[in-house]
Structure 1
């Protein structure tokens, strides 16, 4: 490979115990064991892609997506679910939402990017590349809350993938307004309000609009905590009404807690096992 295509750094990520490798373009990215990869933004793009890859001898790739971050506690990059997945045998890919770098105060950006940079699509392309290099024919996109939104948004862009979403948002505008306003102010300052942003980018910000198209694949398992009233009423019920009868759509309603709390490690692992055993769509990974 030409030296100009690969920028190998002497950096070591001590927090995640992995070497850091930078790439100028996604097409240049090559896996070599457990590494953190940064794909630099190109013309017309705002944000780098930042991920941690741990390839295993497996036909399955689990893609871990994070939700809202307490910026007083967590620093970027954020690679969520590492402790939950550490004893599993599948290849693992952890994605950090680099749009959060736009503001030290921003807690949640749903991996959408900004007006000129569709991070959802760019990260989906990264997942496809990593899956091919890992030899993975099955891809599970795992997320809770904002990460669950991204799993549902990204799955239609990755053939052969399945979204496993725990109590996700399905519409940024239907979440608490201060999150939506902070998001639009940080990432779409050229627009006067969140409502203007949503009108301009409906399918990126509102999965009800995305999945309203009957041609959009519905390969997902949506696990909703019945004790979370806000997500039950504003996200789960509208999305279920829209997609319940479609092939590949599965809803699991259960009581995890009386709040918007992440599922236990044991429950996540149980659902991963169940998805891989019985719910996975029979289709090939797109290259």
Structure 2
């Protein structure tokens, strides 16, 4: 069981005994919160408040050797580059087991985050006068961003190299999924879909979603064929055979590129530029405008 490391927070920590306690304590100011949500789990949330109607929600990917502590936040530098309110959230499932490196923000039997996080974010919207969310994350955090953005009409998911079906992996190479299913939900990989949504391709099938997606994918990443291809095909579109930048549907833009090796994130300069253009400048969601943005982003990443 992981222990809370307060050095991971930017602001003094406000401890909350339950969610209602959090709703009472959150104010229009930058704050860090650690909320007890089960006997062993805490939901750690950090708000950098800038008084804006838009807010960027930052969801982290897997723990790495450089980032092993709990809470596992991402985007500290990004939050300083964005002139909107930012909300960083750590996955509470890490408190269940020190060996957990990834949980996709999908929760556990004791605290189903797929169910509760939209409620929590709606409460934050009311207190901070937020009208629209932009979700951002890569890999597991990208998977979570796609899921939670689907719950907020008009929101945007900005993702890179995300998983789109968390059980669609060889069992011998991805034991993390079996461990997660067993310890978080007391079930098997094959029955995990009975507890939570595991397949975002089915969730988005048909392309009738009310949110927008900006999806960045490395062509050389194994997730390109395993995750991006079935997600694109769920919209009734053939997966591009080469590099591609353009609209897959009215609300889904794909940038299929090779600006990093394999599953690595885009170059930091490129990523921050993209976020600034979308979040700060509110670039038009059109093929022409987004193509122009990514042409510049590719140049910055060289």
Bucket of the pairwise TM-score, normalised by the shorter protein: 0.7 to 0.9
The within-5 A match list for 1:240-259 is 240-243=232-235, 246-259=249-262
* CA shift for structure 1 position 82: 0.6
* CA shift for structure 1 position 246: 3.8
The within-5 A match list for 1:20-169 is 20-23=13-16, 24-26=18-20, 27-41=23-37, 47-70=41-64, 73-169=67-163
> Would the aligned equivalents of 2:216 and 2:254 in 1 still touch at CA under 8 Å?
yes
* CA shift for structure 1 position 247: 3.0
Q: Distance in 1 between matches of 2:174 and 2:6?
A: 35
> Would the aligned equivalents of 1:46 and 1:117 in 2 still touch at CA under 8 Å?
no
Q: Distance in 1 between matches of 2:150 and 2:40?
A: 23
Confirm whether residue 239 of structure 1 aligns to residue 231 of structure 2: yes
Tell me the equivalent position of 1:179.
Answer: 176
Tell me the equivalent position of 1:7.
Answer: none
SS in 2 for 1:130: helix
* CA shift for structure 1 position 164: 0.5
- Among 207, 211, 229, which residue is 2:204 paired with? 211
TM-score by length of 2: 0.78
SS in 2 for 1:184: helix
Q: Distance in 1 between matches of 2:154 and 2:74?
A: 23
- List runs of 5+ in structure 2 lacking aligned partners: 238-247, 287-302
Deviation string, structure 1 residues 36-84 (Cα, Å, up to 9, x no partner): 1133327xx9743210001003232111000111368521001101123
Deviation string, structure 1 residues 117-166 (Cα, Å, up to 9, x no partner): 32023222222222333333231100000000000000111233111011
Q: Distance in 2 between matches of 1:215 and 1:46?
A: 39
When residues 128 and 29 of structure 1 are mapped into structure 2, their CA distance, relative to the original with a 3 A threshold, is farther
Q: Distance in 2 between matches of 1:213 and 1:103?
A: 37
Tell me the equivalent position of 1:223.
Answer: 216
Q: Distance in 2 between matches of 1:157 and 1:37?
A: 23
| Number of residue pairs the alignment of both structures matches | 263
- Among 238, 263, 267, which residue is 1:260 paired with? 263
> Would the aligned equivalents of 1:142 and 1:163 in 2 still touch at CA under 8 Å?
yes
Deviation larger for 149-158 or 71-80: 71-80
SS in 1 for 2:284: helix
When residues 83 and 215 of structure 1 are mapped into structure 2, their CA distance, relative to the original with a 3 A threshold, is same
TM-score by length of 1: 0.82
| 4+ runs deviating over 6 angstroms | none
* CA shift for structure 1 position 29: 4.2
Q: Distance in 1 between matches of 2:117 and 2:214?
A: 21
